[in-house]
Amino acid sequence: MVSRRVIYIATSNMHKVEEIRSILRECGYNVEPIDAPKLELQGDLQKVALYAATVAYSVTGKPVIVEDAGLFIKALNGFPGPYSAYVYKTIGIDGILKLMHGIKDRRAYFYSVIALAHSSGVTLFEGKCNGSIVNEPRGSKGFGFDPIFMPEGSTKTFAEMEIEEKNIYSHRAQAARALCRWLEENCGI
């Protein structure tokens, strides 16, 4: 059996773990969730990820990543953006579809920031996925706003895709691939 190095991830979201794990496997790392203080932070994705990863590293003393992501809808001036987790919990998918009722411009993008905290500091990796908000939810896989987001280049929503297919397009997979390249260039951590 090939022994893999481990990167820990501080998150309450197992879907994130699975998506990032599937990418990091390609560069020889396993990803394991770790208990870290739950920080109810919202705001600028880079700042939130950087701060949360710094705190997680100070508690665990192990190389750890935190990922922060958001859905930015053009016709709503970028809403819900950095407040996506709160908006998902409050008005949810139905609320977003109501806000989008009658709006022709359905363009949106997902953005992901992964902060890796390690012995020499914190390094950020980012990814963006352009797409559109569909009129009705479709699919039952994934999480969050997946049933209403269709990435550019596909006719399926994220919720109609297996992880491997979502990872062809997704913001998180792009950030995770950048993390893989960094790990390879820096001979691991």
Q: Which residues contact 97 (CB under 8 A, 6 or more apart)?
A: 133, 135, 136, 137, 148
40 is in an annotated binding site: yes
From candidates 65, 146, 176, 183, binder to ligand ITT by CB under 6 A: 146
Active-site residue, selected from the candidate residues 35, 44, 68, 105: 68
Q: Which residue is nearest to ligand ITT (CB)?
A: 144
| Residue 188 assigned to a binding site | no
State which of residues 6, 12, 32, 184 lies at the interface with ligand ITT (CB under 6 A): 12
Assess 158 for contact with ligand ITT (CB under 6 A).
yes
Instruction: Look at the chain and count its residues.
Output: 189
By CB under 6 A, is residue 79 in contact with ligand ITT?
no
Residue 49 Cβ vs ligand ITT, minimum distance, rounded to whole Å: 9
Give the nearer residue to ligand ITT in terms of CB position, either 88 or 182. Answer: 88
Assess 118 for contact with ligand ITT (CB under 6 A).
no
144 binds ligand ITT (CB under 6 A): yes
Distance CA(55)–CA(61), nearest Å, equals: 10
Q: Is 94 known to be catalytic?
A: no
**CA nearest neighbour of 73 among 112, 106, 111:** 106
Residues that bind ligand ITT (CB under 6 A): 11-13, 16, 67-71, 84-85, 88, 110, 142-146, 158, 170, 172
